[in-house]
Amino acid sequence: MTGAPLHERGVAELAHGLAQREFSSVELTRHLLGRLEAAQPALNAMVSITGESALAAAASADGARAAGRSGPLTGVPLVHKDIFCTEGVRTTCGSRMLDNFVSPYDATVVARLKAAGTVMLGKANMDEFAMGSSNETSFYGPVRNPWNPAMVPGGSSGGSAAAVAARLAPAATATDTGGSIRQPAALTGVTGLKPTYGRVSRYGMIAFASSLDQAGVIARSAEDCALLLAAMAGFDPRDSTSVDQPVPDYAAALATPCAGLRLGIVREFFDQGLDAENERQLRAAFAVYEKLGATLVDVSLPNVGLSVPTYYVVAPAECSSNLARFDGVRFGYRCAKPKDLLDLYQRSRGEGFGAEVKRRIMTGTYVLSAGYYDAYYLKAQRVRQLISADFARAFADVDLLVGPTSPTPAFELGAKTTDPVTMYLNDIYTIGANLAGVPALSIPCGFVNALPVGLQLIGPHFSEAKLLAAAHAFQRETDWHHRAPAERH
Ligand code: GLN
């Protein structure tokens, strides 16, 4: 792709161009900063654009390369979801509560990507505390879908997805508690990987539901995701749920062919309100896999239909506990002139949190309260085990599961904000993987009404290399991931 404008190139191509000294990281960074600024009024993808520190980091990456100290990602720019703590740079988590919060340290993901020589261009907009499926709950206003600004980009990593889709950044970090990497990736036509729970450190990633939250990546292709995951993944002694397992060579594994792969089509995903045109695109994608030598088999996950209600007990319960730390005392928003301590707590939390966050805290507090704990929380934990067992049973027979990422393409802003349950149902196909802790990714597989739709691949624990290879094989056969929205700025 030599000669293509810099913003049209993905991570691998940029890394190559930097290594060939075709352009410098400073040139590249300046170009992308200009695009981020220009797109901000139309898309609102970012909470902060950190031009000065980005140019300084780019200059130091160029210096490292000149001195012969470069790695595969040296000088590659990216954006971080504003849920990852960044030393010296405001980390808001999309909330008024953290509007003034500047972290004294970097999240492990940020630190590792920094050590790999990447250049942070800024912090991406997101749903408040990662709660949402449309990026409309952010204190900083909604993000718009680059394919059609009347539409949502999906959530909660909507800023990350929109920035990558609009070619403002080649890659972005993101997090997925119930679908927040895969669903916005699907709705904006990019590639998003949620790794196995424990594969990537959660240290310094603001907690929503700790047993479900997982950091991952959004980029244009599986190949680019592989390059970034390699730098992010691995054991972190600061995260007690981080797993001490070697990190495979994801880039080398990309070449693994699909021939002989057994792909399970999840039966239940095709009778739960899936858009008919979306289904047609998926069936065409399955045919691509057949052509590549994979075998498609019918698979049932009998309890997966219980994922949404189970998640909406477990996630709010954990969020009500995690968000108790925001009390107006130590950091974050504090109300003006509190009368006494109780008033300080009540008004700081009342004014600092938005409506969706309050709804979750109230639901979570209720399901954990004495008398209801057994009926709701404990019951949900049991159903979670059944769902995990469904996945384990399926993976005894197939290598990967395939299905839709989201029931419909992107919907209009405001279409679902008044009905939380309708909004929650967006994640009907993604939540199961979080409950089971298994990795999953979404890749673009077509368009419906000029809006992108995604194909989801789900694998057993620690099968990221296999997932990425299967996605890469598809992307060598198709060009959906190369399609870019019209420039609107
Ligand atoms: N949309 C889901 C929710 O609102 C999932 C969010 C996420 O994955 N962070 O909770």
Residue 464 has pLDDT above 90, yes or no: yes
Q: Which atom of ligand 1 is nearest to the CA of 131?
A: 4
Sign, CA dihedral 458-464-469-475, equals positive
Check residue 460 and give its pLDDT: 98
Query: What are the extents of the domains in the chain?
Result: 11-258+448-454+475-482
**Distance separating alpha carbons of residues 164 and 171, to the nearest angstrom:** 6
Q: Give residue 2's pLDDT.
A: 57
Q: Would you state the pLDDT for residue 444? A: 98
Is the shortest distance between the CB of 180 and ligand 1 below 6 Å? Answer: yes
Ligand 1 pocket member 214 (CB < 6 A): no
User: Does the pLDDT value for residue 156 go beyond 80?
Assistant: yes
Res. 422 pLDDT band, cuts 50 70 90: confident
More confident residue, 421 or 414: 414
**pLDDT for residue 423:** 87
Alpha carbon of 173 to ligand 1 centroid (Å): 16
Quick check: CB of 156 below 6 Å from ligand 1?
yes
The pLDDT of residue 280 is: 96
In angstroms, what is the span from residue 15 Cα to ligand 1's centroid? Answer: 32
Residue 56 in this model has a pLDDT that exceeds 90: yes
The mean-pLDDT minimum among 210-214, 244-248, 416-420, 470-474 falls in: 416-420
Ligand 1 centre to CA of 353 (Å) is 16
133 lines ligand 1 (CB under 6 A): yes
Amino acid at 255: A
Beta strands 191-194; 400-404: pairing state: unpaired
- Go through the chain and tell me how many residues it has: 489
The residues annotated as belonging to the active site are 81, 156, 180
Report how far ligand 1's centroid is from the alpha carbon of 472 (Å): 26
CB 157 within 8 A of CB 175: yes
Give the pLDDT confidence of 6-19 residue by residue, as tens digits: 999 999 999 999 99
Q: Is 62 in the pocket of ligand 1 (CB under 6 A)?
A: no
CATH 3.90.1300.10 fits 11-258+448-454+475-482, yes or no: yes
- Give the pLDDT of residue 370: 87
> Does position 105 have pLDDT exceeding 70, yes or no?
yes
- Reported as a single tens digit per residue, the pLDDT across 304-318 is 999 999 999 999 999
- Rounded to the nearest whole angstrom, what is the distance from the C-alpha of residue 159 to the centroid of ligand 1? 14
Residue 5 CB coordination number (10 Å): 10
Does the CB atom of residue 427 touch ligand 1 within 6 A?
A: yes
Position in ligand 1 atom list of the atom nearest CA 155: 1
State in Å, rounded, how far the first CA of the chain is from the last one: 24
